[in-house]
A = this chain, B = another copy of it.
Amino acid sequence: MRNYMFTIEYNGRNYVGWQRQKDLPSIQEKIEDALSSLVGHTVSLTGSGRTDSGVHAICQVASCALDTTISTDKLPFAINAILPEDIRITSSRVVVDDFNARYSAKRKTYLYKIYTSRHISPLRDDTHMRVSVPLDIESMQDACTYLIGEHDFRCFLASGSQVKDTVRTIYSAKVYSVGDDEIHFEIEGNGFLYNMVRIIVGTLVAIGSHKYPPSHMEDIIASRDRSKASPTAPAHALYLKSVEYPNNIYLD
């Protein structure tokens, strides 16, 4: 048995999310099943974290122990031959035994894509959130500054979640325009609460449309009250972009 780390790209549209759920299609299930049928033993895959139903990954990371003679660089091709085309293993590495994609993760970056238009964009409606009014990027960027640092982000925790420790550190958060009518949001942190990025985006959209001033973000965080933040932005425009690990984990 050796410990493997995989990077994975997926289109979340047809899945209930990363985590395996009984009788429902999940990313974890598809990859575990593909790996098990490939190596001939049961495989238990650990993702860097869950992604919600409909959320995409440009680069999710997962780890598992495998007993296989397939060479590490051939492994992605062998697994991809079994996987559905909306999930692809993009790389494979052998890593130290105590590597765990969830607990070894140091930083994660999420990307959220918005376009502003009075009409649905047929080329982006599956992949971006549409906002029907213009957004003030400068106000959104100002609001982002309040996110930086270590804070109790309970205000951005989906109601009903059982998580106790709601303190997280945000290293960067930026809003930038792409082309004529797109606004992208990128946020990097040591971890994120359930629905946290999507609730932040909902709040940024409210600030960008001048429903609230940028300082509203500071007030919400201080309140620790989910009801003060805005509604959760849709899942289909959210992308897990990257997960960072220490450099000394690789054995190949």
Determine whether A119 belongs to the interface, using a CB cutoff of 8 Å to chain B: yes
Residue among A76, A86, A123 with the most chain B CB within 10 A? A123
- The answer to whether B120 touches A88, judged by C-beta atoms less than 8 angstroms apart, is yes
- The answer to whether A11 touches B88, judged by C-beta atoms less than 8 angstroms apart, is no
Report the minimal beta-carbon distance from A9 to chain B, rounded to whole angstroms: 5
Q: Which of A204-252 contact B (CB under 8 A)?
A: 239
- The answer to whether B120 touches A85, judged by C-beta atoms less than 8 angstroms apart, is yes
Determine whether A108 belongs to the interface, using a CB cutoff of 8 Å to chain B: no
Q: Which of A43-85 contact B (CB under 8 A)?
A: 56, 58, 76-77, 80, 85
Of B10, B119, B127, the contact of A90 (CB 8 Å cutoff): B119
Q: Which of A104-119 contact B (CB under 8 A)?
A: 117-119
Of B80, B118, B123, the contact of A119 (CB 8 Å cutoff): B80
The residue on B at minimum CB distance from A90 is B119
Determine whether A121 belongs to the interface, using a CB cutoff of 8 Å to chain B: yes
The residue on B at minimum CB distance from A76 is B119
